Structure 1
Amino acid sequence: MPSVPRRKAAPVAAAALACALTCAAAPPAASSDVRVRVAVTGGPYTASVGLVITGPRTLLGGYYCAADGLAPTPLTALVDADEQYGLGGVQARWDASTQDFVVTRIHGDAADGKKKWNAYINEEKIKKGPCHTPIKGGDKIRWTLE
């Protein structure tokens, strides 16, 4: 059986490599990603950061966090603010009874029996859990230890 010369295979390999590099480019941001502002208050550590790009995603411990399965939430905004601006660490635990996260620590400031982390959207306290509350572009998210 005749063999194909190697140099004829080179253009095919180069074309395939070019296609692979083009096809491997990062996908555009998901349409559900939004830009919000995030602040942390109430404890010794206080911060207000620039625009945070956030969207629904898997968080702390592998649980998916998205309001109605599609929308970003106050918790995704907080975790993304920590990753994008270095808030000093966010810790939360999964609460099986509410099927949502409970924030336990931000930048070393811990919730305890007397104080807990509460989220506000545009200065209105959320009524559902932080993964069940949708946010939209332009919202101001504030986490307060109170």
Structure 2
Amino acid sequence: MPSALRRKAAPVTAAAALACALACAAAPPAASSSGDVRVRVGVTGGPYTASVGLVVTGPRTLFGGFYCAADGLAPTPLTALVDADEQYGLGGVRARWDAATQDFVVTEIHGDAAEGKKKWNAYVNEEKIKKAPCHTAIKGGDKVRWTLE
């Protein structure tokens, strides 16, 4: 005699099983990974120079818990730099929060410190950024360069 559970179970057709499998295997909503892009990152100007392969970057929380994303959604030159450091080992990135600009200022990359009149500047596709690094959007295929000048 079948159990009460078995008697009430509805048969599953092949079409229903396929629909369930496709629904379960569907990609997550675009919002969960919409900000991730692949860019190239370079560091120049100090004793340490590097150019790394493709870096996967996206909007994220950085040093001290501040969220870094242009317009709240897009990756930035700073997220690319930090992700390049994590993915390729650039030797460390340090930054401080600037309350006036509501953004980060990079103070050191691989031990090369921004001191005196020298500062770290970001370039996207060979153009110096005009906004602060967390307010500048980047897109897939961009070339991001940080230069100590």
Q: TM-score range by the shorter chain?
A: 0.7 to 0.9
Q: What is the distance in 2 between the residues matched to 1:32 and 1:133?
A: 13
- Secondary structure at the aligned position of 2:134 is classed as coil
Q: Identify unmatched segments of 5+ residues in structure 2.
A: 1-23
Alignment RMSD: 1.4
Q: Which residue identity lines up with residue 118 of structure 1 in the other structure?
A: N
Q: Residues 1-50 of structure 1: CA distance to partner in whole angstroms, max 9, x if unpaired?
A: xxxxxxxxxxxxxxxxxxxxxx9xxx797121000000000000000000
What residue number does 1:90 align with?
93
Query: Once the two structures are aligned, what percentage of the paired residues are identical?
Result: 88
What residue number does 1:43 align with?
46
> 1:113 Cα shift?
1.6
> 1:112 Cα shift?
0.9
What residue number does 2:120 align with?
117
Residues 1-146 of structure 1 correspond to what in structure 2 (within 5 A)?
Answer: 30-146=33-149
> 1:145 Cα shift?
0.0
> Structure 2 length normalisation: TM-score?
0.79
Q: What is the distance in 2 between the residues matched to 1:32 and 1:76?
A: 11
Higher helix share: 2
> 1:131 Cα shift?
0.1
Q: Which residue identity lines up with residue 39 of structure 2 in the other structure?
A: V
Q: What is the distance in 2 between the residues matched to 1:96 and 1:112?
A: 19
Q: Identify unmatched segments of 5+ residues in structure 1.
A: 1-22
Bigger Rg, which one? 2
Q: What is the distance in 1 between the residues matched to 2:89 and 2:114?
A: 20
